[in-house]
Structure 1
Amino acid sequence: MEQQLKEALLEKCREMEIPLVGVANVERWEEPLFQPWIPEEFHPRFIYPEAKSAIVIGLPVTLPILETSPSIYYRELYRTVNSLLDQYTYRLSNFLTEKGHPSIFVPRDGYGSTKVLLDNPVAFFSHRHAAFLAGLGNFGVNNTILTPEYGPRVRFATILTSAELEPDAIMEEQLCNHCMRCVRMCPSNALVEKDYPEGITDKKACASFSDELNKRYISPCGICIKVCPIGEDRRIYGRENASIYEKKDEFRKYHKAWDHVRSYGGK
């Protein structure tokens, strides 16, 4: 029965063209895998006491659009992906509930604006940690989840369900290659050259920079995920050479295109 339900869920995700899906049992939050770990009040059962499994879905952030960041183009892509994540997780939670397994979705962004993050740069649930525990990827120096398919260029959302589903294995292969492009190119100097969690992002510096971009209608930043060399999407888009973002003369046609997009739609 458990396996049949998971197969039905995965088939539903395929119908909805969701490329990344992973499952974790809620007990994984209770066994720290590194320090500092996720505080208890951010665990699934603290938010939804009936939860037995967490289902995490991921949608890609289109690399050639992200490359224009910060820009109105990337801002619109970011909003589109977030909207789809909320819609898909809402629909999937209802799908499971109708099958007799009460479920809820957790919205992609658990905060009202970047101004809120300046005072308290934490949401009430971490989709990144959920994605890690569901086997979809692992943390890079840039404090994001890297995946084999898209590197860090993927956004996640979560469904908490009372269904007991077979969990997926946590990914053991470390994907980050420590090139440190994310550290060098971070415009807010929010990163340091240490593995997660030792090099946890200066969240307030990141939020402050995002707030300034928001005033110009071109947030979020996106630099640390666009310059990361990890991900099959780089090969698909012909971007295997991640130095494209630093060497302007050699890749002039790309920089001209990005500069054009950045010149419009914001302040």
Structure 2
Amino acid sequence: MNPLNEKIEALGKGLGAAQVGFADLSSLENGLNLGYPGAVSVVVRLSKGILAQIEDAPTATYFSHYRIVNRLIDEITLRVALALEEGGAMTLAVPASQSLPSVKGENPYRGLFAHKTAAVLAGMGWIGKSALFIHRDYGPAVRLGTVLTDAPLDTVAVLAESECGSCQACVKACPSMSIEGKLWKPGMERSYLLDAHSCSEHMKEAYQHIGRGSVCGLCMVSCPHFRKNL
């Protein structure tokens, strides 16, 4: 392995990442890579014990856990970015959870860069029918971080295929009926898989009492790729 890859992987795992991958972004079109040819993709596992408490609604514990994990990811990606910059590279650590301000006609649920894109290209999994990233070992019970970079890393660009098959578990579990139930293919827009507006509005109405920005998690815990790891 490239010594720089080894250094960054060891750094990420030492800070709490379950896996660190390296993605070639050069094939992305329309400036989606923000001018960076590569990315470091960071995977952090969510707690099985906390997720196991979710039955028909998210819990206050999950709400807190979700935010804590996002903060951890931001720390890991910042440390990775600074380490790469010490070697002369340019980097951009993408926030773990951030929606950009939108103008009329734009997608109001978009971030600076789709973490799932880097994670898939790095060969760590695929996109489920729920539009969640499905990790090959941990299923959807993960959160992702990304560092865009021009550092001389060894990277890959994997054309993954969905392994969801005919499963409809997340479709049936979704309380807002926002999941279309379609099989993901590389390059597919999220809107073909998920009605993000319907999902967001339901979470605001149903779970506001748990906390501002509360997330649901029902599609995640219903997934067989999560259940097999309990």
Does residue 58 (structure 1) correspond to residue 43 (structure 2)? The answer is yes
Name the structure 2 match of 1:14: 13
In the alignment, which of 175, 186, 195 is matched to residue 202 of structure 1? 195
Q: For residue 17 of structure 1, report the CA deviation from its aligned partner.
A: 3.1
- Percent sequence identity over aligned pairs: 30
Name the structure 1 match of 2:225: 230
Does residue 93 (structure 1) correspond to residue 81 (structure 2)? The answer is yes
Indicate the RMSD between aligned Cα atoms, in angstroms. Answer: 2.3
Q: Deviations over 1:120-174 (max 9, x none)?
A: 1222211112211121110111111111211111110100112131113526464
Residue correspondences, number = 216
CA distance in 1, matches of 2:142, 2:119: 11
Distance 1:214 1:124, change over 3 A: farther
SS of residue matched to 2:175: coil
CA distance in 1, matches of 2:156, 2:136: 16
Q: TM-score, normalised by structure 1?
A: 0.74
In the alignment, which of 143, 152, 164 is matched to residue 152 of structure 2? 164
Name the structure 2 match of 1:146: 134
CA distance in 2, matches of 1:236, 1:225: 12
Name the structure 2 match of 1:104: 92
Q: State which drifts further: 209-218 or 128-137.
A: 209-218
Q: Deviations over 1:16-62 (max 9, x none)?
A: 231111111221313xxxxxxxxx24x12x3xx3x231111011112
CA distance in 2, matches of 1:204, 1:173: 26
CA distance in 1, matches of 2:205, 2:69: 22
- AA matched with 2:134: L
Distance 1:79 1:141, change over 3 A: same
Does residue 179 (structure 1) correspond to residue 167 (structure 2)? The answer is yes
Name the structure 2 match of 1:242: none
- AA matched with 1:10: E
Q: TM-score, normalised by structure 2?
A: 0.85
Q: Deviations over 1:234-255 (max 9, x none)?
A: 4453xxxxxxxxxxxxxxxxxx
CA distance in 1, matches of 2:90, 2:109: 31
Name the structure 2 match of 1:24: 23
CA distance in 2, matches of 1:195, 1:236: 23
Q: For residue 184 of structure 1, report the CA deviation from its aligned partner.
A: 0.7
CA distance in 2, matches of 1:105, 1:7: 19
Unaligned stretches of 5+ residues in structure 1: 31-39, 114-118, 238-267
Name the structure 2 match of 1:211: 204
Query: In proportion to residue count, which structure has more helix?
Result: 1
CA contact (8 A) 2:138 2:229 kept: no
Unaligned stretches of 5+ residues in structure 2: 102-106
Name the structure 1 match of 2:104: none
Q: State which drifts further: 151-160 or 20-29.
A: 20-29
CA contact (8 A) 1:138 1:171 kept: no
CA distance in 2, matches of 1:12, 1:175: 31
Q: Deviations over 1:248-267 (max 9, x none)?
A: xxxxxxxxxxxxxxxxxxxx
CA distance in 2, matches of 1:213, 1:97: 43
SS of residue matched to 2:99: coil
SS of residue matched to 1:27: coil
CA distance in 2, matches of 1:102, 1:194: 38
